[in-house]
Amino acid sequence: MELKGEIKEIIYRNEINSYTIALLEVEEEETTIVGYLPFMEKGDTIKAIR
């Protein structure tokens, strides 16, 4: 499964290891993504692969 969208909000980020919980907008829907995303910020566009 592949999702491509814009990060709408960083819900949580561990400053030590960059583990992140973020809200991703994909085709007018929002979904939560998690992972080690050290350089991602609100407004960035990413492709997430599961």
pLDDT, one tens digit per residue, over 25-47 is 999 899 999 999 999 999 999 99
Domain count of the chain? 1
Residue 20 maps to a domain: yes
Residue 17 maps to a domain: yes
Instruction: Tell me the average pLDDT across 6-17.
Output: 97
Residue 46 maps to a domain: no
Q: Is 90 exceeded by the pLDDT of residue 6?
A: yes
Residue 50 maps to a domain: no
Residue 25 maps to a domain: yes
- Rounded to whole angstroms, how far apart are CA atoms 14 and 25? 22
Residue 19 maps to a domain: yes
Band of residue 9 on the pLDDT scale cut at 50, 70, 90? very high
**Domain limits for position 26:** 2-39
Q: In this structure, are residues 46 and 26 in contact, taking their beta carbons and an 8 Å threshold?
A: no
Residue 7 maps to a domain: yes
Instruction: Tell me the average pLDDT across 3-25.
Output: 96
